[in-house]
């Protein structure tokens, strides 16, 4: 097996695994965050605007970890630096 196909196989599998793991855990933690925010809104509807704003900021922070994984897998597929290195040789 030449190095191009090794790089292709490894980067495709890695990007799939990266996206899978990077979707799983942020989804769980976002679910937890939404659950506790909804509970507090149900307890104190007056504080809903503050809770919603904090929730959105927190969700964006959590989601950014998923976005890092997504960007990483996009780089592995569409802009793989090792791939370009091998092609250039």
Binding residues (CB under 8 A) for another protein: these are 50, 53, 56-57, 60, 63-64, 67-68, 70-71, 74, 78-79
| Minimum CB–partner distance for residue 66 and another protein (Å) | 9
**Closer residue to another protein (CB): 32 or 53:** 53
Best CA proximity match to 77, nearest among 1, 3, 9, 23: 9
Closest to 66 in 3D by CA, of 14, 15, 35, 20: 20
User: Whole-number minimum distance, CB 71 to another protein, in Å?
Assistant: 5
Q: In which residue are the tokens 């040789």 written?
A: 89
């Amino acid at each position: 097996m030449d190095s191009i196909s090794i790089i292709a196989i490894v980067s495709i599998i890695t990007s799939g695994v990266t996206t899978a793991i990077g979707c799983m855990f942020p989804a769980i933690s976002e679910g937890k965050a939404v659950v506790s925010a909804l509970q507090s809104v149900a307890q104190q509807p007056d504080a809903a605007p503050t809770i919603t704003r904090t929730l959105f900021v927190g969700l964006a922070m959590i989601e950014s970890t998923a976005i890092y994984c997504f960007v990483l897998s996009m780089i592995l597929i569409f802009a793989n630096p090792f791939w370009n290195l091998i092609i250039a040789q």
